[in-house]
Amino acid sequence: MPSYKLVYFDFDGGRAEPIRIAFHAAGIEFEDERISFAEFGQMRNSRRFNSVPVLEIDGQQVTQSNALSRYIGKMAGLYPSDDLQALYCDEVLDALEDVSHYIVRTFGLEGEALREAREKLAEGWLTTYLRGLDELLARGGGEYFAANALTIADLKACMQTRSLRKGNLDHIPTDLVQRLAPALIEHQQRVEADPRVVAYYASRG
């Protein structure tokens, strides 16, 4: 069995959370190295593409969160075996990655510049992507995005919905999801109640 070390920021959520949950669901031991933003600033130039998460497999670094989610997701039974359902899963993963890039562009802004950027984001790309995800959830049958079962796409979507509803982004209304895509809230609750997700967070104490 290879040795695995996953490097990401020290919080529950974000790009690495689906990978962490998939590792736990698969019963695969891994080192969950959680770093501060300051530590990332010191190490980023030594990381391929200057980014995290990074998965070290027997010491070899591999990047790109969606690729890592698929890799571990397959081991955990959280990625569709059917090609079309896998395509549906990938569409959601990539859409969520796109919207994450728009959100990250607002990081580092302050004051009025931050408020204006976040309000523009809420009225623009966040509205576009929430409505699009709502359509993709309906296409999947209303409960999951693909294969009528929990996949890594559901895990990643759940993290984004949870973050928006918790108010993690200043100047983004916490009721935005409720107003634009309420089905995503029921989806979040469904994912968080899945025994594999419950067991992962229970293991975290």
Residue 30 is assigned to a structural domain of this protein: yes
Whole-number Å distance between alpha carbons of 192 and 202: 12
Supply φ then ψ for residue 60, to 5 degrees. -90, 125
**202 is a domain residue:** no
HSE value, Cβ hemisphere, 13 Å, CA-based, for 10: 8
For the chain, report the end-to-end CA distance as a whole number of angstroms. Answer: 26
Q: CATH code at 170?
A: 1.20.1050.10
Give the tens place of pLDDT for each residue, 44-76: 888 889 999 999 999 999 999 999 999 999 999
Residue 48: predicted pLDDT: 85
Assigned domain for 204 exists: no
Residue 106: count other Cβ atoms within 10 Å of its Cβ: 19
- Structurally, the chain folds into a number of domains equal to 2
Both 139 and 56 in one domain: the answer is: no
Residues spanned by the domain of 16 = 4-77
**Residue 201 within any structural domain of the chain:** no
Whether residues 135 and 116 fall in one domain: yes
Burial class (CB in 10 A: 0-12, 13-18, 19+), 183: middle
Answer yes or no: are the C-beta atoms of 91 and 42 closer than 8 Å.
Answer: no
Q: Are residues 70 and 124 in the same domain?
A: no
DSSP 109: -
Last residue of a domain, one of 55, 77, 99: 77
Q: Is 197 helix (H, G, I), strand (E, B) or coil?
A: helix
Per-residue pLDDT tens over the stretch 78-103 = 999 999 999 999 999 999 999 999 99
Tell me whether residue 199 is in a domain: no
Residue 36, in any domain of the structure? yes
Question: Residue type at 136?
Answer: L
The Cβ of residue 74 has, within 10 Å, a number of other Cβ atoms equal to 16
pTM of the entire predicted model: 0.96
The answer to whether residue 28 is domain-embedded is yes
Question: Does 155 lie in the same domain as 69?
Answer: no
